[in-house]
Amino acid sequence: MKNSLKKVIVCAVAAIIGIVIANHSDDIRTRERGLEIIGNAEGCRRDPYQCPSDVLTVGIGSTEAGGEKIQHNHTYSDSEIAQRWVNDLITAENCVNRYGNGAKMPQGAFEAMTSLTFNVGCGAMRQSTLFRMANQGYSPAMCDQFLRWVYAGGKKLKGLEIRRRKERELCLTV
């Protein structure tokens, strides 16, 4: 009888964060605290897989939405994963800057907003209450909005609750 289980090839989030910090810190505003929240929530895989939302994904939550194709039968290296992640982070940061007053946000709020945007996409965030509040200027009250984003597929997910609490805490640091 054939084993139908596919081998999962994981990578170390900390190693990818190290590469991003060493080689790409001039390209992104998100720093180690924000990278850790995103990376630890997303996990890291070298082999392409279908995420819970049935989207082809690789590395640290990287999809083809960023414009870069995913090679189905390719095992990605740390440097390839780091580069894809940086490209995706730049997309999320640009969204926060354009629609969420990112340039005027304290570092913690900016990183938290980038993490949420990385996770749910710019389309979902553009008209969000969080971004509307951010456009009025930073306030600790806007950080409570993170706790609303805990559903996927109509279901409340424990992993999203944990991530959103961490993002909220980061948002509150000024």
Q: Is 80 a catalytic residue?
A: no
> Can you tell me the distance from the alpha carbon of 8 to that of 55, in angstroms, rounded to the nearest whole number?
17
Residues with Cβ < 8 Å from 78, sequence gap 6 or more? Answer: 11, 15, 16, 19
Residues with Cβ < 8 Å from 24, sequence gap 6 or more? Answer: 82, 83, 86
Please say whether the beta carbons of 42 and 7 come within 8 A.
no
Residues with Cβ < 8 Å from 171, sequence gap 6 or more? Answer: 108, 109, 112, 113, 142, 143, 146
Q: Is 64 a catalytic residue?
A: no
Which of 51, 68, 80, 161 is an active site residue? 51
Which of 42, 93, 111, 167 is an active site residue? 42
Active site residues: 42, 51
